[in-house]
Amino acid sequence: MATRRARPLKAPDKLVFLLSFVPYLLEQRVVAVPEAAAHFGMTDDEIRDAVRLIATSGLPGSTGTYQPNDLFDIDWDAFEDDDVIVIVHHVAIDDAPRLSAREAAALIAGLQYLSASPENQGSASLASLMAKLTAGASAAPSRLAVAETEADASLALIRGAVSVGRQIEFDYLNARGEGSRRRADPLRIISQDADWYLQAYCHTREDVRNFRVDRMSDLVLTDEPVGDHSQHAVPDTLFQRSDSDLDVVVDVSPSTLSLLADYLADSRAREVGGRLRVTLRLAHVHGLKRLVAGLPGLVTVVSPPEARAAVAEWAEAGLAGYREVEASEIPRTTGSDDI
């Protein structure tokens, strides 16, 4: 069953649906409207509209006029009275269309990304699936590829805990640098780009929390089953707002703005000296100093002063580490690097 889509369909999408719906109806022979709707992730009315369109479509024929025999036909009584679709005459198409090079490439690259997840690692079925997609494309799929990444060793254990529904225990170091032992009911794993997160009900905090998998260590699978958390909403976003959030005004180079999309407090941006002045919302200054230091030269904190000072101190402390070492040892030099 297809999940309901979020976006309205454009004309080319509707065409693809019509071209796929016809062979589906031929294959099924007799199908109820709600069943077809569930299969394609459409509403019953959308399906009925499509059936009416198909039933009056066909070929212009040799005379250039649409004659009955050149048109699709359906069992109108079954359709009008029982909401059941039966094609009794069809023209021109009976098979599904091939995939476009772009469509095949998008799915293949998606599968490559999935190959990083523990249950798919080194999976032969993924490879054969990609070969089938290539064979089903009307032209060689576009050269798009996603490298297999090394999944965190903890992932397989967490994935197992999610599927069997058992509690886990682990050490967790939060972004403030505070470590503690946590017991949690794992609910869902999210991978975002190269990062892995666990959404879990945390027994310590008595609420659903997002954990970065790479900040978890000494993970243990317990014998305790997870509780019922149906009353807790599992957030769809990784970044949750809270009343204690910190608003920070920054100047950012326009090309960097997309990297900060998760943190933007609102959609306002004003140009200041060739840069954009925007407001970021973060949980605390610890997250901010890491974010800004990781985009050196691209983001400058304007206010509040404490946030500016925290970033300056963080960078100064980093520099101080090098100065101390320099005073006490002679550095070794090796290596070359460039891309």
Exposure of 261 in the CB half-sphere (CA atoms within 13 A) = 5
Quick one: residue 320, left, alpha or beta (phi over 0 = left, psi -120 to 50 = alpha)? alpha
DSSP letter (8 states) at residue 8? P
1 binds other proteins (CB under 8 A): yes
Q: Which residues within the stretch 35-94 sit at the binding site for other proteins (CB under 8 A)?
A: 39-40, 53-54, 57-60, 64-66, 91-93
Number of residues near other proteins (by CB under 8 A): 135
Give the whole-angstrom CA distance, residue 148 versus residue 135.
22
Please, what is the minimum distance in Å from the beta carbon of residue 243 to other proteins? 25
If one asks whether residue 232 binds other proteins (CB under 8 A), the answer comes out as: no
34 binds other proteins (CB under 8 A): no
For tokens 């997160």, name the residue. Answer: 197
Place of tokens 């699709």: 72
Nearer to other proteins, 18 or 265 (CB): 18
Q: Mark residues 245-264: x for contact with other proteins by CB under 8 A, - for none.
A: ----------x--xx-x---
Among 101, 221, 265, 269, binds other proteins (CB under 8 A): 101
Per CB under 8 A, the list member of 189, 280, 282, 285 interacting with other proteins is 189
Q: Give the DSSP letter string of 219-273.
A: EEEEEEEP---TTS---SSSS---TT-EEEEEEE-GGGGGGGGGGBSSS--EEET
Is 88 or 153 the residue whose CB approaches other proteins more closely?
A: 153
Closest to 248 measured CA to CA, from 272, 265, 269? 265
Stretch that binds other proteins, among 75-83, 201-209, 273-281, 317-325 (CB under 8 A): 317-325
Q: Which of 76, 165, 163, 77 is nearest to 117 (CA)?
A: 163
189, 197 Cβ separation under 8 angstroms: yes
| 30 counts as binding other proteins under rule CB under 8 A | no
Chosen residue from 67, 69, 204, 217 binding other proteins by CB under 8 A: 217
Cα 211–Cα 214–Cα 215 angle in degrees, nearest 5: 60
Q: Could you tell me the smallest distance in angstroms from the CB atom of residue 32 to other proteins? A: 13
DSSP character for 63? T
Name the residue nearer to other proteins (CB basis): 281 or 286: 286
Residues within window 279-308 making contact with other proteins, judged by CB under 8 A: 289-297, 300-301, 305, 308
Residue nearer to other proteins on the CB measure, 152 or 278: 152
Instruction: Decide: 124 and 156 in contact? Cβ < 8 Å.
Output: no
Site for other proteins in 106-165 (CB under 8 A): 106-107, 109-111, 113-114, 117, 120, 125-126, 129, 132-133, 135-140, 142-147, 149-150, 152-153, 159, 162-163
Part of the chain binding other proteins (CB under 8 A), chosen from 79-87, 239-247, 263-271, 311-319: 311-319
Amino acid at 28: Q
